[in-house]
Structures are given as C-alpha cells and as structure tokens.
Structure 1
Amino acid sequence: MKKIVLTGARGALGTSLRPALAGLADTLLSTDIQDAPDDLAPNETYVRADLARMDEVAPLLEGADVVVHFGARVDEAPFEELLGPNYIGAYNIWEAAHRHGLRRVVYASSIHAVGLCETASGIDTREPHRPDTFYGLAKCFAEDLGRMYWEKRGLEAVCLRILSCTPKPENLRALGTWLSHRDMVHLVERAVLAPTVGFTVAYGVSNNDRAPVSNHTVPFLGYRPQDNAEEYAAEIEAAAPEADPQDMGYTRLGGPFAKVRLGEGAVSLIKAMGKG
C-alpha cells in the first residue's frame, strides 16, 4: 500500500499498532490530539489533529488506501462530551475517506455496542446492537455509519468489537474477554490486508477457553489468535473473591460499563475489578 492513516496513535492500542502498520505501507501517517511521540518510524509522519474538525481530518486522508480509526474518548461520559470525538469524529473519518476514494476503514468498535447482552448467551457477530452506555451507543452509530457507507457508497469497513485489550488479563471477567496486544495487532493487520471484506464486524478477543463471543461467521479475515487467558487463570482465581451472580459487571458483556449510570465513567470500576 502507498499510505495508511492511523488515528488515536498516542493511545495504548495505537502505540502498539504503529510499528506494524508502518511495515504495511510506503507511508504511515499517524495522528492524535496529543503531541508527536519521539519514536516515529523512518516512513512515519505525525500530524496533531482534532477528530471533531473536518478541516483538520480531511487533508490527512488524501492519497491514503486505508484508515485505521482508533481515535476516541475511551470511557463513558455525558453525551455532550462524547459528541465531538466519538460521534462527529466517526462521521468525519468516513466522509473524508469517501471524498478521497479510500478503499477501507478499519474501526476500533467495542464490546459495548452489545454490552447489555448476557455474558452466557454465546453471541456471534450477527447480534443486534444493545449498547450499555453513551460510549457504546457511539460504537453502534459508527458501525451503522460503516454499513451505510458500504451499501450506498462502496466504502469497505471492518468494525472490530474489542473486548479487554491489556498486556495480560487483570480480573475474572478478563479470563473470557482478554485480547492480548499481539493478537490485537494481528487482528488489525488482517482487517487491513484481507482481500475483500464489504462490511464486516469481528470481535477483538484472544483464543480464550472462556471467550463469551464467537468469530465463526468471519473466517475469511484470516484472524487466528494465539494467546489464551487460561494461562493466567490459577493466579487470578486465587486472588479474586467469588463472583456475585447478580453483579452486572460479570453477567453482562459490557462488564462495569453495563452497571454504571449513563454518563458516569466506568474505567475506574474496571481498575477496581483488577484489584479483586
């Protein structure tokens, strides 16, 4: 490829993705609302930009083949605070991609698009939206945007419903939901390189014995995760209290996002779960 654009390049996942994406194209253009990192690849350029500003976003996509859209505010918050980065930002990316004739958008969606589904229900990629928060609703909006731009304008999209992407699983819930950074990079590479995808939804989850979701409908992506949270099960189970069967943090796919009030942050609850 001639050019890939990565948004959210300063986030934890974006930082892991940058070296791999730089190896897939002549040029990687990375962007975020923060200042540039100090470890740019030889073929990587960096532009600071606000996703909510079309005049800042659109020029970045000129000449690109694919945009990997990982930029967003990553927590629940009042709708008004998410509107710019998560809702308008998604529209700006898809519209700019259409204007510049890109082939594909690879989007960091989230399990929170279906976060109120029961953990034990065994869903696959065909599950209807059931968001748990305004944050999850933004993921539904972007997925529907991606389907519409494919069906009306022929712009391909792969929406990756990422579960719990951390260096290692941190709590009981993550024994099912963990996505290792290695598997995350592999998943994004396959979403970029698969020959044809149309509009595709896939779950970002490692090869966990206890995975609560299935990618059996999308084998054509070629995603073959290698890591398994079961490796950490004995250590996590020994340190954790018994899970409450009435706790929506465990009984719903969204975990803590499923139990917080709309507009209230959930990341702090995730950290608390990691302590026991």
Structure 2
Amino acid sequence: MKKIVLTGAAGRLGSYLREPLANMCETLISSDLVDDIGKLYDGEKYVRADLASLSDMNDLLADADMVVHFGAIGDEAPFDAILQSNIVGAYNVWEAAYQNGVRRVVYASSVHAVGMHKSNDGIGIDAPHRPDTYYGLAKCFAEDLASLYWDKRGVESVCMRIFSCAKVTNPRAVGTWLSYDDLIHLVERAITTPVTGFSVVYGISNNDRAPVDNTKATFLGYRPKDNAEQFAKEIYANSDPLDPNDLAHQCIGGPFATVELGNSGVASLNIVDDAKKT
C-alpha cells in the first residue's frame, strides 16, 4: 500500500497505531491539530490539519489508499463542540475520501453509539443505535454516513465500536477492555481484509465477560487474544459493591449512560494516560 492517512495521531490510541501503520505502507501521513508529534517513524510524515475544514481534508487525503480516522473529541462535550469536530469532521473525511478516490475509511466508532443497551442483553453488531450522549449520537451519525457513502458512492468503511481501550482500573473494564495489541490487530484486519463494504465490528478483547456478540464480524479475521479476566480478582477486591439499579452498571455505555448531556463521561473512568512515546 502506498499511502495511509491517520487522523488523531497525537491522541493516546493514535500513538499506538503510528508505528504499525507506518510498517504497512510506503508513506504514512499522521495528522492532528498539535504543532508537533515528536520523532517520526520511517516513512511517516506529519501534517497539521483541521477536521472541520473540508479543504484541509481534501489536501490530506490526496492520493491516499485508505484513511484511519481516529480524530475528533473523544468524550462527551457540549453539542456545538461535538457538531464541529465529530459530526462535520466525519462528513469532511468521507466526502474528501470520495472526492479523492480513497477506497476505505477505517473509523474509530464507539460503544457509545449503542451505550444505552443493557449489558446482559448480549447485543450483536446489528443492534439498533441507542446512543448515551451527544458523543454517542455523533458516532451514530458517522456510522450512518459510512453506510450511505458505501451504498451511494462506493466508499468502503469499517466502523470499529471501540470499548475500554485503556489500562483496566474498574469493574466495568473487566468485561469491556480492548488491549492495545488487540486494537492494532483490529485496525490491521480492517485494512487488509480484501472486501468490507460497510461493516461494523466491536473493538473489544477476548474477555470472558464481554457484553456483546462479535460473531457476525468474523469475516474480518479479527481474533483478539487478550482477556481482562486476569485483572478481575484484584479489581473486584478493591472496588465497592456495584448498585444493580444504577444505569451506569446496567448499560454497556457505563457512566456515559448517566452523565448529564454535555458533561464529561471520561472524568469518572480514571483512565491512565500511558500514551506511547516516540
């Protein structure tokens, strides 16, 4: 593959994707809003670009084979902020992909597109949208946009509904963990699978207590190896008993299911910032 574009390259998840993506193509264009992302890998170039600008996205995606879209606000926020970064930004990425003949968008969707479904429902990838926040609503928009651009314009997409891709620090993550190694494996499969059309897959590791069914996405060849059960004993021993009547413990969106619209859901998750350093 000649050229892959990665948006959100300065983010925590993007930091783990840069090196493996650089190894998959002749040129990796990493992009974000920061001025500098540090030392570059062989074949990697950094371009500062704004998702809210269609012109920026058109320039960024010129001659690209695929775009791995991890950019935008990664938390619940006021609607106007979500609108520009996550909704308009998604439109600009897909429209620029279409205008530049990019074959496929590999998209960091989220569990929060279906976050109000109950954990014990065991939903699959065909579950109806049930967002828990404006953030989740924007993911629903992007997934439907991806479906539309496949049906009407032939742009393939793999929408990865990412769960808890961070160090396991709370009881919910024992079921919802996505390890960095499994994240990389998932993105690689989303890129290398010959034909995807419009596809949805859950970004979750091989957890004993996973609250969703990924069976219908097996054609991607995604076979996660890590399992959060290794952390269960310690996590449960150090946590207070969970309230079964609390939607934050009932719903797969966790605390996003109860947070006030526009307020951070990440704030209560105790996420460790262990971004990969170059």
Q: Unpaired runs of 5+ in structure 2?
A: 272-278
Deviation at 1:36, TM superposition (A): 2.1
Superposed CA deviations along residues 6-65 of structure 1, whole A, max 9, x for unmatched, are 000000000000000001111000000112222211200001111001111110100000
* Whole-angstrom CA distance in 1 between matches of 2:169 and 2:268: 12
Superposed CA deviations along residues 244-269 of structure 1, whole A, max 9, x for unmatched, are 10111110011010001111111111
Q: Which moved more, 1:258-267 or 1:88-97?
A: 258-267
1:86 aligned counterpart, secondary structure: helix
Q: Structure 1 residue 156 and structure 2 residue 156: aligned? A: yes
1:203 aligned counterpart, secondary structure: strand
2:201 aligned counterpart, secondary structure: strand
* Whole-angstrom CA distance in 1 between matches of 2:201 and 2:49: 28
Deviation at 1:207, TM superposition (A): 0.4
* Whole-angstrom CA distance in 1 between matches of 2:238 and 2:48: 42
Given residue 13 of structure 1, which amino acid in structure 2 is its aligned partner? L
Q: Is the 8 A contact 2:49 2:60 kept in 1?
A: no
Deviation at 1:219, TM superposition (A): 1.0
Superposed CA deviations along residues 199-229 of structure 1, whole A, max 9, x for unmatched, are 0000000000000011100111000101000
Listed as ranges, the matches of 1:204-223 within 5 Å are 204-223=203-222
Q: Structure 1 residue 265 and structure 2 residue 235: aligned? A: no
Given residue 258 of structure 1, which amino acid in structure 2 is its aligned partner? A
Listed as ranges, the matches of 1:90-239 within 5 Å are 90-166=90-166, 168-239=167-238
Given residue 12 of structure 1, which amino acid in structure 2 is its aligned partner? R
2:24 aligned counterpart, secondary structure: coil
Given residue 115 of structure 2, which amino acid in structure 1 is its aligned partner? G
Given residue 245 of structure 1, which amino acid in structure 2 is its aligned partner? P
Q: Structure 1 residue 65 and structure 2 residue 33: aligned? A: no
- 2:56 aligned residue: 56
* Whole-angstrom CA distance in 1 between matches of 2:217 and 2:266: 30
- 2:26 aligned residue: 26
- 1:246 aligned residue: 245
Given residue 226 of structure 1, which amino acid in structure 2 is its aligned partner? K
Q: Unpaired runs of 5+ in structure 1?
A: none
* Whole-angstrom CA distance in 2 between matches of 1:3 and 1:36: 20
* Whole-angstrom CA distance in 1 between matches of 2:35 and 2:244: 44
* Whole-angstrom CA distance in 2 between matches of 1:251 and 1:224: 27
Count of residue correspondences: 271
* Poorly superposed stretches of 4+, deviation over 6 Å: none
Q: Is the 8 A contact 2:179 2:226 kept in 1?
A: yes
Deviation at 1:270, TM superposition (A): 1.4
Q: TM-score, structure 2 length as denominator?
A: 0.96
Q: TM-score, structure 1 length as denominator?
A: 0.97
* Whole-angstrom CA distance in 1 between matches of 2:218 and 2:49: 35
* Whole-angstrom CA distance in 2 between matches of 1:20 and 1:36: 20
- 2:82 aligned residue: 82
* Whole-angstrom CA distance in 2 between matches of 1:40 and 1:214: 37
2:86 aligned counterpart, secondary structure: helix
